[in-house]
Structures are given as structure tokens and as C-alpha cells.
Structure 1
């Protein structure tokens, strides 16, 4: 069977971590495009609310309470999707948790728990998805992070998990290609996204987590995911800042060490007190796309629009991301330039 991905309105799309943020944005966008959606997360009330929102807007979908760190939960999720709709066309491994804290402060228990969700949840989901997609064809989409390429202080164990997700995803893609399996494997790499994650992370500091700007809309990640669901794609960055950080980590690692120690480490805690609860070991979601980002603007990404729009030159978008590197690095001195420069240049110079 050759690889051929269906239009969205002919697809059944399964999404983990779908009770808020990126997963919910993807579910809403997919359903609005005519796909049947299967939502999974740990929080029943949030999933029910999410499906209500989708159905109210005219979409079709179901939800299943599942913990991705349990293979048996994901096997039951796949069976439920097939029982309801007869197949799975796209599987999106999006579920993830975060920890804000220095590596020498985070407990071994919490480090292992994060890996259970972020890494093992992706492994289990990928293996179960591929067992179905080998027969019918389709797309496997894993949500990594800019932290798949660039380590982030205070997010050290999160960064390690996303590095692991990238290594696993790339190796799986090679093995499926060797088998000529009709499965597209994509890794999505978002930069800072305006989800409720700052309120959900396990926080070892006394102040609320803060993402480095610029901060992009969750809908931008959803657009990248749905592009990969219909067009075989190896990887997609979401936000020019993510591509910039990735490039700098490869090309100037010592400079990135300095940036991490002097800019990113102090810049990732805000002024608000830390949220007292978290979703590390159990579900905590509210069926909301956005979180509180302490006054930071949550903006669209012209770079991502270019990357997901075949009418716009990816070469031009990549050049803009490279030019934006210096603006990002010196962002503490002039934050307004961080949040506008790369995006405005893509808009001003489309090709």
C-alpha cells in the first residue's frame, strides 16, 4: 500500500492530551474541518466540556478517559475509536506535563513521572497507532518541542524528555520507511505557546512559571498538526523563535549556554505566586485553550503560516527566522523587538 493521506473531512483523528491547550485547539479545528475526533485525557469533566463545545459548533466526536502512561489505557482508547468509527486515520500524541525547577531540586519520583507521560506515553501511543496504520495507512504525529533541540534551564527534565521523543520518533520513521509502511511520521516542535501550561506544571520555585516570549497561539500548533495530517511531513516548527533557538543550539552551542544561564533561567519565573496545584501525577484541565501568561501578548505566527502554506516560500520564512536570531538573543534589552520583528518581516516579504 502506498502512502496517501485523506482530506480532513474524511478522517478519524485521535488526539491525546485533548482536554486543554494544543490538544483542544487541534480537536476543534479538525472537527470544524469535518473530521471525526476522538479525544483522550485524564480529566473527565474537561473532556466532556470539550466535546460539548465541539458538538455545539456542529462537529462530531467522542471522548475517552485515558492516562497515556498506561499502555492498557491507550489500547482501550484505540479499540473505542475503531468500535465507534471503524478506523483511525491520524493519531496525535500530544499529552505532556512539565516541571519548573533546577535539576538538583527536582525529586527522582517527579522526574520519572514526567518521563512516564512525555516519553513513554508517546512510545506506547506510537506503537499502538502504527499497529493499526500499517494496515490502513495514515499519519502519526508526535508533539515535541523547541526543547527537543535546545535545552532549557528550569525545564531540564522536560527538555530531556523532548530530546528523547525526537530520537524515538526519528528512529521509528526510519524503520517504517525501511518496511515501506504507508505511515507518515511527523514531529511538531512548538516554541512558547499560550496554553494553560504555566498553571499546570509542577513548580519547585515560589513564583509562577513564565514562558520566554514571543508566545504563540495554540491554534498555530493545531494548524501545523492538521497540515501534517493531510500532507506527509517530517517535522514542523511552530513559531520562528523555535526555529531560531534550534539553529543557535546547533551552530553556536557556547553562546546558547550563556543565553540559558543569563537570560532564560531568570526569565522563566514571573512575578505572580506559584500555582499551588499541578497535573504531573493526575489530570488537571479546564477545557480552555489559553492560560495566564502574566501580561505577555499571545500572538499568531506568520512563520508558521508560511510553513503550512504551500503558496509561500519556506526558504523566505527560514531566512526570516535566521535574521531573527539576534533579536531573540538580545530580547531582554528590547522585548518589543522579540515579539514583532520575525513575524513582521515574513508578512512584509512574502514570496
Structure 2
């Protein structure tokens, strides 16, 4: 089975959840690299502003207002890409939302609504994309999470939805490979990312939510998504924290349970009282921003992810750094032999 993917500048990408955060960063980065982009989200004002900025910078972009929890909305997005761009080459299922609160405190309808977005949005988007890409080839890229491998307290149903995304994505990949479809299926598993994620979450607690450190840049996820659009990969971890948690969940699950109950509950709550209680679970939140209001340490780049995506260049930097350290360390020895 051949799964050769086009160079990015020859592609059309459909990106869901594109009015803010990772989706917006991905759309902007793809357009700057020459790709045509269809932005999909519920927030029309955010989509319009993002699309206008891309076009003003010389890129090619359109948008479709859609709720990913409705198959007909995503079919409209696919039809729009086909009508205006002649089709699409990569479909990115990025839209997602969370709920902060203990499982027993959260209303059933809120749990269901979260799954409509996080899980069914991925199912609808993936199957619609597969139908279009089955003959021509391309990539389906689904956003999982560190929580795809390891559950998190206070975000129980979010964790469940990301476990479900992983199971669905792995099954879809195997089925497409079995039939010989030239489609690459990638699962992206970020650690905490400094987007408006916490502001968009519905909050049942008495405190403003926060992501426990380390928290990485949205641009690192966008970089990985665009890498997967050109290079078939089974999965990609964003941030060494995600990779380590995924590995540890298989080897020391009891230790991670202890860390979860002792540290992660408090680590996900700020000291200040809750403000954004409703979030964007039912209504679109304020779009247009890639970064959120993450407190504390400045969002940092993921050196691990950079090394995974660019092993040769990263290796060269490491070798040069080690050579420089060796040169500095040998200074006394060199001076000792100066005549």
C-alpha cells in the first residue's frame, strides 16, 4: 500500500476547531507554507477574522460555520472544499472541549455534549474524509491527548473521550490498511498546551481551572500536525511529559494513580474563584486567540517534539553543543600545553 503524501504547498487542508488555539495555529502555519485551508468551527466571527488575516497575508483560505457534533455540518465542510478547492488532501479533527469537575457532579447532558464534540466529531470527520480520500490518498489527523493514555482527575469524561478517540483511530487505521486504502491515519497526543482550553471548559468547581505544568506552545502541536500531513506516522507525542506519561501508564499505573490523587487535583485549580463557569460547551467561546491566559511559567517549546520531527538537525545541534562544552572544559589543559 502506497501512502505517499503531497508536499504541503500542494495540499488543501480542512481543520476543525480552527477559530482558536491549536486549530487556528495550524491553519495560519499551513497557509504561510502555501497550503489552501478550510477553517471549520462554530464561532463565525472568529473564523471570519482568522480567514481575513490569512488572505490579507497572501494565503488562500475559506471558512464554514459548523458544529462537529452534527454529521451534516461536516459534510457541508467537505462539500465546500470539493466545490471551491477541487477536494482536500488532509483532514484535521481538532475540535474539542473539556469539563472541570468530579464525575458524579457533572450533569449527564453535559457529559453527552462533550462526547458529541470530542468523540463523534472525530468519527464524523474521519469517515467523511476517508470516503473522499479512499481513491486519491491523503491524511486523516486526529487530536487525542496525553489523556488518551492516562486518565486525569477532574477531567474524567474528557479523559474518557480521548481514550475513545484513540480506540477509534487505531481501529480505523487498521481497517483502511487492510483494504489497501492509501490513507495515512495519525493520532496526535499533546501534553498540556497553552491555548484558551481552560477558558472554554465548563467548570463545576469553585476555582478557576488551570493546566498542570509543564505547558507547551500551541505552535508545537501545529508543527506536528503539518509534519503528519506530509509524512505518514502512526502517532506523535507533543512534549516529553506526554511521552513519559504514556510509557509510565503501562509500567507503573499505581504510581500514576497516587500522583493523580495526591497532586493533580490541586494542580488543576487556581487560587482565584471560578469565573468562566459555562465555557464553550454549548455556545462558541471567544475565538481569534492562539494562546490562552495560562498563569505561572511562560509556555515553553517542546525540545522533545522538535527532536522527533527533525532528528538530523537536532542531532547536529546537540553534537555542536557537546563539542563546545568539550572545548570549554579543555581550556585549562590547553593552556597547560601552551609554549
Give the conservation status (yes or no) of the 8 Å contact 2:92–2:141: yes
Corresponding residue of 1:290: 291
Q: How many angstroms apart in 2 are the aligned matches of 1:24 and 1:204?
A: 27
Three-state SS of the structure 2 residue aligned to 1:293 is coil
Q: By how many angstroms is 1:285 displaced?
A: 2.9
1:99 aligns with 2:62: no
1:125 aligns with 2:125: yes
- 1:233-291 Cα deviation digits (max 9, x unpaired): 00000000111111111110000000000011111001233224311112113210011
User: Structure 2 length as normaliser, TM-score?
Assistant: 0.91
Corresponding residue of 1:212: 212
| Structure 1 residues 185 and 237: alpha-carbon distance in aligned structure 2, compared to 1, 3 A threshold | same
Matched residues, number = 321
User: Structure 1 length as normaliser, TM-score?
Assistant: 0.88
Three-state SS of the structure 2 residue aligned to 1:78 is helix
Runs of 4+ in 1 over 2 A off after TM superposition: 344-350
Three-state SS of the structure 1 residue aligned to 2:189 is strand
Corresponding residue of 1:59: 59
1:303 aligns with 2:304: yes
Q: How many angstroms apart in 1 are the aligned matches of 2:168 and 2:322?
A: 37
Q: How many angstroms apart in 1 are the aligned matches of 2:100 and 2:194?
A: 16
Structure 1 unaligned blocks of 5 or more = 317-343
Q: How many angstroms apart in 2 are the aligned matches of 1:149 and 1:201?
A: 21
- 1:46-103 Cα deviation digits (max 9, x unpaired): 0001112212222110000000000000111100011010011000000001000011
| Structure 1 residues 264 and 125: alpha-carbon distance in aligned structure 2, compared to 1, 3 A threshold | same
CA RMSD of aligned residues (A): 1.8
Corresponding residue of 2:238: 238
Q: How many angstroms apart in 2 are the aligned matches of 1:310 and 1:177?
A: 27
Q: By how many angstroms is 1:184 displaced?
A: 0.1
Superposed counterparts of 1:303-342, under 5 Å: 303-311=304-312
1:9 aligns with 2:9: yes
Corresponding residue of 2:81: 81
Structure 2 unaligned blocks of 5 or more = 324-339
Corresponding residue of 1:247: 247
Corresponding residue of 1:280: 281
Which deviates more, 293-302 or 132-141? 293-302
Give the conservation status (yes or no) of the 8 Å contact 2:138–2:183: yes
Corresponding residue of 2:113: 113
Give the conservation status (yes or no) of the 8 Å contact 1:200–1:278: yes
Q: How many angstroms apart in 1 are the aligned matches of 2:187 and 2:102?
A: 27
Three-state SS of the structure 2 residue aligned to 1:13 is strand
